[in-house]
């Protein structure tokens, strides 16, 4: 259960995008120009393999990362005792485990990929929504299409299909960072892909997109197979035809009462429970066929009957909605409400957010340029959709009602606050001579320190997509420098010059860790790999049994950046009971942070209070830095 982060900002034109990968990715430049078939994956063979860091490097960095988590820092007796344990590990079990890991990595272009997907996602048994999946909330469009649910649904679907075509034809341009290509492997998992519940771990299935030319539309709890290519001729349907199909689904579903046994709610279950219910459903051949149709579909569109108004309400609808008008196992799920509010939810097991953010940013740009004239054309002669049938026995009926209640209880336990701050964004932060992402990381540290009087382990992930099948590595945002910064800032005896100096030092330390992690030289993935090398019956080394080992990976602050002018929000849930989920956007002149937490948070933390301290921190930082910048110019 990991949150995610990607950055998208406009440059030059709507077809040139800047992206930063989940939670701390260096800038990458994108273009959707068609340069010829094969470009999308043409650099895959030349990408370097993910390295196995040296044991000395990882353990030294690990020691440094945990210093600020001890009350007395490196002078704390508990820290010094743990360092002795780490040193013994390096010269004994660690050396043996490192040798096994090197042997395991031999001949593999990415040793972590065979561990990570199952460890972090497919083997995780809590519900994917609201606990794992990530959402994007599209900005509102003040156009005729942007205010009409069915027209906007058709327009979004049409543009999704255009993006899908770029991937099929491999004409979507590959991504770069400073002239180096990024791995594009995850784009293969975007469409015609679905997660399937199994015991003890889930699996994913990807089918040939050119042999499955249909999408799934869910409306009023009913599930429909809707063709986007003519099933007889194979030709792509026009926008008008797609609109008529979606309208037909809407009308057909609303001639019926609300679905009393919505199968979709089962996808919101604990994965073990869903696996058992799924197996039972598949015992019926009609149900099995319908489930396979859902799994083979290009993507899912949900027509909602609600009217979310505030940004928070729209975010909640994107985050988990009502639970039953959804299919949470698909990596591309679009929804449009009665008031045409729209958004996206992504299942995370095989694909991080860069591809889907790129797609969502692009499709919102495209529909903003469309007009009702685009819907003109020849009238469709026959419907191109089929309602999928399920035979619901008494056991499944009982299970559906149980999951409806469970979903309601789970989602009601979560709180959200959407914080926005105007007049401080990427442009202003750059005038201070600071990295915008690192600046916001320190803003989060300061706000949390103001709120709680302490610092806690904080997660931000760096992209390792410079390597073949690279995904993420953890950036540990709390450092000795960040602790000194928050203490200085709250110390009334410190001068503005001292405060700014400590902020710059903290930002520099953060940037250094991000760079190391992006090179695959962080702490957490390597330590995970070492633990995976333990053989059955072997005793777990003392280093991994120390309370600090688990505490330092207990992400009280789970943070991630995504920036796009086409969104009014994105986010995910907290990853620990005591924690915050902090998804942020850094736009040109304003900041946006989606704050989530459990209402029964063991520490009593509240998203509304965190928002208050974010405002206080932002005002103070902006005031002091602005005066410092002006003084420096003078």
Catalytic residues: 348
What is the spatial distance between Cα 77 and Cα 83, in angstroms, rounded to a whole number? 10
What residues contact 501, with CB distance under 8 A and at least 6 apart? none
> Quick check: 563 and 396 in contact, CB under 8 A?
no
CA dihedral angle for residue 79, residue 85, residue 87, residue 90, rounded to 10 degrees: -130
User: CA 163 to CA 504: how far, in whole Å?
Assistant: 41
For 218, 474, 581, the CA distances from 555, given in Å and listed in that order, are 35, 11, 9
Contacts of 18 (CB under 8 A, 6+ apart): 7, 8, 9, 10, 11, 27, 28, 29, 30
Q: How many CA atoms lie within 13 A of 227 on its CB side?
A: 18
Q: What are phi and psi of 287, to 5 degrees?
A: -65, -40
Beta strand 580-586 with 557-561 is parallel
- Which of these, 343, 332, 327, lies nearest to 206 by C-alpha position? 332
State which H helix or E strand residue 591 sits in. strand 590-598
Angle between helix 436-452 and helix 480-490 axes, rounded to 10 deg: 60
In this structure, the strands spanning 590-598 and 414-422 are: antiparallel
Q: How far apart are CA 134 and CA 132, in angstroms?
A: 7
- Strands 180-181 and 176-177, sheet pairing: antiparallel
d(CA 245, CA 236): 13
DSSP track, 187-244? GGGSSSEEEE--SSS-EEEE--GGG--EEEEEETTEEEEEESB-TTT-PBPPHHHHHH
Task: Tell me the three state secondary structure of residue 47.
Answer: coil
């Amino acid at each position: 259960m990991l949150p995610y982060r990607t950055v998208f900002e406009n440059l030059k034109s709507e077809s040139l995008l800047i992206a930063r990968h989940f939670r701390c990715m260096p800038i990458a430049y994108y273009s959707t120009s068609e340069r010829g078939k094969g470009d999308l994956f043409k650099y895959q063979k030349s990408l370097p393999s993910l390295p196995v860091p040296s044991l000395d490097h990882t353990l030294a960095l690990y020691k440094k990362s945990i210093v600020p988590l001890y009350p007395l820092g490196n002078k704390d007796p508990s820290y010094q005792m743990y360092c002795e344990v780490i040193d013994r590990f390096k010269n004994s079990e660690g050396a043996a485990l490192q040798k096994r890991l090197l042997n395991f990595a031999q001949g593999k272009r990415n040793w972590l990929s065979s561990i990570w997907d199952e460890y972090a996602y497919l083997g995780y048994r809590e519900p994917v929504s609201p606990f794992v999946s990530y959402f994007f909330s599209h900005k509102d469009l003040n156009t005729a299409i942007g205010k009409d649910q069915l027209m906007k649904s058709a327009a979004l679907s049409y543009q999704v299909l255009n993006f899908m075509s770029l991937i099929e034809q491999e004409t979507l341009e590959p991504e770069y960072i400073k002239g180096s290509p990024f791995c594009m492997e995850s784009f293969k998992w975007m469409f015609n892909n679905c997660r399937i519940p199994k015991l003890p771990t889930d699996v994913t299935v990807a089918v040939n997109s050119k042999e499955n030319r249909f999408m799934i539309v869910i409306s009023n709890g009913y599930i429909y197979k809707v063709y986007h290519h003519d099933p007889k001729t194979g030709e792509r349907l026009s926008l008008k035809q797609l609109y008529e199909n979606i309208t037909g689904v809407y009308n057909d579903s609303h001639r019926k009462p609300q679905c009393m046994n919505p199968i979709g709610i089962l996808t919101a279950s604990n994965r073990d429970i869903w696996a058992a219910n799924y197996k039972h459903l598949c015992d019926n051949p009609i149900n099995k066929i319908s489930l396979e149709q859902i799994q083979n579909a290009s993507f899912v569109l949900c027509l909602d009957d609600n009217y979310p108004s505030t940004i928070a309400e729209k975010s909640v609808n994107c985050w988990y909605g009502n639970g039953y008008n959804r299919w949470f196992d698909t990596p591309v799920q679009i929804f449009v409400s009665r008031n045409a509010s729209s958004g996206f939810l992504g299942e995370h097991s095989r694909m991080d957010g860069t591809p889907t953010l790129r797609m969502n940013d692009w499709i919102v740009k495209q529909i903003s340029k469309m007009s009702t004239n685009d819907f003109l054309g020849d009238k469709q002669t026959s419907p191109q959709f089929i309602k999928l049938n399920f035979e619901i026995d008494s056991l499944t009926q009982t299970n559906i009602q149980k999951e409806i209640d469970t979903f309601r209880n789970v989602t009601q336990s979560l709180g959200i606050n959407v914080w926005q701050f105007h007049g401080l964004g990427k442009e202003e932060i750059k005038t201070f001579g600071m990295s915008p992402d690192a600046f916001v990381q320190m803003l989060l540290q300061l706000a949390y320190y103001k709120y709680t009087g302490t610092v806690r382990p904080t997660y931000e992930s760096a992209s390792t997509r410079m390597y073949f099948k690279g995904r993420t590595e953890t950036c540990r945002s709390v450092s000795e420098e960040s602790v000194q910064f928050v203490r200085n800032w709250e110390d009334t005896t410190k001068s503005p010059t001292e405060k700014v100096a400590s902020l710059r030092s903290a930002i520099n330390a953060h940037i250094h860790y991000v760079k190391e992690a992006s090179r695959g030289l962080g702490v957490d993935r390597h330590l995970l790999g070492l633990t995976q090398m333990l053989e059955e019956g072997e005793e777990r080394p003392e280093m991994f049994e120390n309370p600090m080992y688990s505490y330092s990976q207990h992400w009280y602050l789970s943070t991630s950046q995504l920036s796009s002018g086409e969104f009014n929000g994105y986010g995910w849930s907290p990853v620990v009971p005591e924690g915050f989920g902090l998804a942020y956007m850094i736009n040109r002149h304003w900041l946006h942070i989606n704050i989530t937490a459990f209402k029964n948070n063991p520490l009593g933390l509240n998203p509304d209070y965190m928002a208050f301290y974010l405002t206080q921190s932002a005002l103070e930082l902006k005031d002091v830095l602005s005066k410092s910048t002006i003084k420096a110019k003078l």
